[in-house]
Amino acid sequence: MKKRIWNSFEIYEADALAEHLETMAERGWMLDSIKRTLVFKRIEPQKIKFSVDIMENASVFDSFHNKKTMEYREFCTDTGWEHLSTNGIFHIFYSKDVNVIPIHTDQEVQFNVISKNMLGKTIPSYLYPLLMTIFFLFINANQSITSLTMNLTLISPVAFLFADIISIIMLLSALVWYLRGKSAIKNKTLMPKHSIKHIRIRSFIIMLMAFMILFATAFFLLIEIVKEPIIARIILPLILMNIVTFIVVVKVLTILQEKYNFTRNINRSIYVVTGIVLTVVTMVAVMYSVFSGIGHNSSVDNINTSMINPKITSEDFGYVNNKDIDWDYTKSIIASIETYLEIPTSRDTIFSLDYEFFQCKFQFGVDKFIKEKAEQLQQMNYILKKEIAYDKEEVDSIFLYSTQYANSNNRYIFVKDKEVLFLEVTNILDKEQLATVIANFFGNNEI
């Protein structure tokens, strides 16, 4: 009979792990192996002394039977300890002699070894999600706010948010241990140990955040699968393939490490190359989903014309034109945008229009959309006039901005609550035409 427990002990919690293993032995559970989980086997309850040691300059990429590790195990065996298991960083020894001499008697030396490993390896791994978030924000700084109208684009910021929470929790936990350890060395007191309760609470929060990442990813994918079956046929299998491939590769590499005793650099290179390949495949899948139009209805040529339902056309202003139509509608759980473009097919066309109607549940999205459109007009040397005076009772708290030129297309921005209409028409709209626009767009619209 065996029991598995997720290994939530960090490099600076070796003493806490040893104490936990001793408690488990007293309850009749002996550690069998340690990797990503702690595997226990049933034994007669007994007192067993455990030592969880960390070698200087140890790495998770070290092979299990490299020369340096084997020499160290022999040294510990000569002092009365028996080697039990290792996961690359933690080396676990035990002795049934509860009075056995500790492997390390100088806690300052051990503190320095752990601190060096923390600063060189563990802390950078905690900082990685935070750095990736900064990079994500940097490359998306100039991305249009309309990207919020696609559910697939919401996966990354949500995942980064929960990953950053995990990183911050781990950094704070490590910092607390380091400061307490420094104080203990200075005052020559016993080294601090995080309690099992502390470790379990931290582990629960981290598992919860990890679950939220998986839930958010599955949630957004399911929404898109319902809207776009192509995701179920192409994108989802690619993601699942990557997950299965990663698990298989890790298992195969573990077996190869034990059999051929690769060097640390070879092991690291194999994992890095594998990670890059899987990342590239995933990025290609995501890019395909974005550039192929997944997540929204594309142009008229690609959809049933019965689905086209523009809120306003040139016919609403009394003009009947020969034209082609480009209509597009995209909607996510927090925002939507409808775009409509009339492309005249006759030189006799005297009136045409196009518009973008943006809705967002959050005010920052509305403000960003208005800012983007204002900047576009400024780059085109158009002067945007603000809050043109109209009968407030008739307009009903709608703010209107416009550019009005007799011999040029005119742009209008209508704003009401969390809805924005960017309208471009050939002529200057009169009061009656403005009322038509307002009635068609700002009725009972819901995101």
User: Mean pLDDT by 10-residue block, N- to C-terminus, for the chain (447 residues)?
Assistant: 88 91 94 88 94 73 69 84 83 90 82 84 85 84 85 84 92 92 88 86 92 87 71 66 76 73 74 75 62 46 54 84 81 92 75 90 91 82 56 52 65 88 85 86 64
pLDDT digits (tens, 9 = 90+) for 368-388: 998 888 888 877 776 666 544
pLDDT value, residue 257: 67
Domain end (from 170, 202, 227):
227
Residues 198 and 239 in one domain: no
- pLDDT score, position 235: 64
Same-domain check for residues 393 and 435 = yes
Whether the Cβ atoms of residue 133 and residue 168 lie closer than 8 Å to each other: no
Question: Which pLDDT score, from 0 to 100, does residue 294 have?
Answer: 47
The amino acid present at 156, given as its one-letter code, is S
Same domain for 437 and 312: yes
Q: Which amino acid would we find at residue 369?
A: F
Domain end among 192, 227, 262: 227
Kindly state whether residues 201 and 176 are assigned to the same domain: yes
pLDDT of residue 107: 83
Residue 100 lies in a domain: no
Residue 101 falls within a domain, yes or no? no
Same domain, 43 and 123: no
Whether 220 maps to a domain, the answer reads yes
Q: Which domain does 73 fall in, by range?
A: 2-95
Q: Confirm whether 146 is domain-assigned.
A: yes
Q: Is residue 113 part of a domain?
A: yes
User: What CATH number does the domain containing 428 carry?
Assistant: 3.40.1000
For residues 149 and 201, membership in a common domain is answered with yes
- CA torsion sign for 3, 6, 10, 11 is positive
* Domain-located, residue 447: no
pTM of the model: 0.72
Dihedral sign for Cα 203, 205, 209, 214, please.
Answer: positive
Amino acid identity at 80: G
Domain for residue 171, yes or no? yes
Query: Does some domain include residue 446?
Result: no
Instruction: Give the count of domains, the chain.
Output: 4
- Same domain? For 304 and 289 the reply is no
Q: Cα–Cα distance between 267 and 281 in angstroms, integer?
A: 22
Query: Are residues 292 and 335 located together in one domain of the fold?
Result: no
pLDDT, one tens digit per residue, over 379-418 is 777 666 654 444 333 445 577 777 665 556 788 888 888 9
Please indicate, yes or no, whether residues 239 and 337 belong to a single structural domain of this protein: no
Query: Is 230 within 8 Å of 295 (Cβ atoms)?
Result: no
Q: Give the per-residue pLDDT at 324.
A: 81
Going by C-alpha positions, the residue among 431, 381, 422, 419 that lies closest to residue 401 is 422
258 with 131, same domain: the answer is no
Domain boundary among 254, 273, 297: 297
Residues 321 and 410 occupy one common structural domain: yes
Closest CA to 408 of 424, 426, 383: 426
Helix ranges restricted to H, 10-66: 14-26
Q: What is the pLDDT of residue 209?
A: 92
Q: Is-contact 94 51, C-beta < 8 A?
A: yes
User: Bridge partners of 150?
Assistant: none
The pLDDT of residue 302? 40
**Same domain flag for 290 and 416:** no
The Cα–Cα gap between 401 and 386 comes to 5
Which residue(s) pair with 92 in the sheet?
52, 85
